[in-house]
Amino acid sequence: MKTKLLFLLNGILVLGVFLAFPVFAQQPAISCENSSSADYFPETSHNVCGAFFDFFKARGGLEIFGYPLTEAFVWNGRTVQYFQRVRMEYHPENPPEYQVQLGLLGDFFAPSEQKARIPASQIPSSNDRERRYFPETGHTVGLGFLKFYDENGGLDNFGYPVTEFILENGRFVQYFQRAVMEWHPNQGRIALQDLGQRHIDQDKDLQKKTEPADNLLIITNATQTVPSVTSLHATASVRDAFTGQGGYQTVWVYVYDQSGEPVQGAEVILYVRYLSGDRIFDKDTNPRIPPTDKAGHTQITFELGRPQSGRLVLIDAYVNYQGVETKAQTSFFPWW
């Protein structure tokens, strides 16, 4: 009898542990199939669907999150999707309104020496309208940062502050759990740093997830006659208009035909015009720039090296599709 009782108690304990810790590896993916909540972003050639798209629309869209950089995928047992400024995470174990959360990338990148709580003598009074103290992390938010915080989602979008505002690369910034705010005095505005892109740049496995995806919302007709291409139009753009000496740059190219329809299979050769000489990228180099996809899009991410500061770097994109050619141009400015 005692043996049976112990067996029963052990079984209850194991069941309790199993229920207390959800098996994230088996959680459902964010699906675009038959989803009324979805959109495709040709700027980066990725889809946003289901709960992630609903969150995207409700919490600030492009201004807060930027463009999607990956499709939704399972990472360390959790369904996630990277955007330029954030990582969205799916938490099915939470109540519906909290199932989509933003990853703590701001806390991850925050300088550890700046995280120390401020002294009690520096805590503002509770009626101070210019500064607000957050006892959860021991930091304040003030002035333009506080206004931006309150007007753009506050705690839900940014989390608690994990540093005071600090001077970094010639700009005042402040780290929050889920974001980094940056003051642009020339434009008189606060902007959010591209933490999603920054995290991807540091992880080669994540970089593999940025490959362009097909537009899952388009239903193609295999029997449709494809019109001939008589002329091309191309555009090119860069991820960072201003850079330092080092890190990575991404170039996006879009190709359209004479009717404004995207051209799939166009080949692009990229010439990056450094003062020290041209760097050339095509479908056979490493890194390579693949032919355009169904959205007429292709992209490449390459190491900047050490370009000369204060000198504009031109980028020429030469496009060829079945003997029809065109050219697009963009540029960036190494500043620091």
pLDDT computed for residue 277 by the predictor = 92
Q: Residue 260: what pLDDT?
A: 86
What backbone torsions phi and psi does residue 174 show, to the nearest 5 degrees? -140, 135
The yes/no answer on whether domain 230-334 falls in CATH 2.60.40.10 is: yes
Pair of tokens at residue 199: 């995290």
pLDDT string in tens for the chain (336-residue length): 444 444 444 443 333 433 333 434 444 446 676 566 889 999 999 999 999 999 999 999 999 999 999 999 998 889 999 999 999 999 998 898 899 999 999 999 999 999 999 999 999 998 898 999 999 999 999 999 999 999 999 999 999 999 999 999 888 999 999 999 999 888 788 999 999 999 999 999 999 999 999 888 764 333 344 568 999 999 999 999 899 888 899 999 999 998 888 999 999 999 999 999 999 999 999 999 999 988 889 999 999 988 988 899 999 999 999 999 999 999 999 987
CB 214 within 8 A of CB 297: no
C-alpha atoms less than 13 angstroms from C-alpha of 287 in its C-beta half-sphere: 18
Q: Which parts of 80-179 fold into alpha helices (H)?
A: 105-109, 143-151, 154-158
What is the domain partition of the chain in residue ranges? 108-193, 230-334
Q: What is the dihedral of CA 285, 291, 293, 299, to 10 degrees?
A: 40
Residue 218: the pLDDT is 65
> How many CB atoms lie under 10 A from the CB of residue 17?
9
The C-alpha atoms of residue 147 and residue 201 are separated, in whole angstroms, by 30
Q: Which two tokens stand for residue 334?
A: 């190494």
Are 301 and 235 within 8 A, CB to CB?
Answer: no
Q: Please state, in angstroms and rounded to a whole number, the distance separating the CA atoms of residues 214 and 233.
A: 21
Identify whether 287 is preceded by a cis peptide bond (ω within 30 of 0).
yes
> What is the Cα–Cα distance from 83 to 52, expressed in whole angstroms?
11
- C-alpha distance from residue 8 to each of 4, 12, 16, 20, 21 (Å): 6, 6, 12, 18, 20
- Cα gap 83→48, rounded to integer Å: 10
Q: Residue 117 in contact with residue 133, Cβ under 8 Å?
A: no
Distance CA 296, CA 134 (A): 47
CA distance 27 to 163: 34
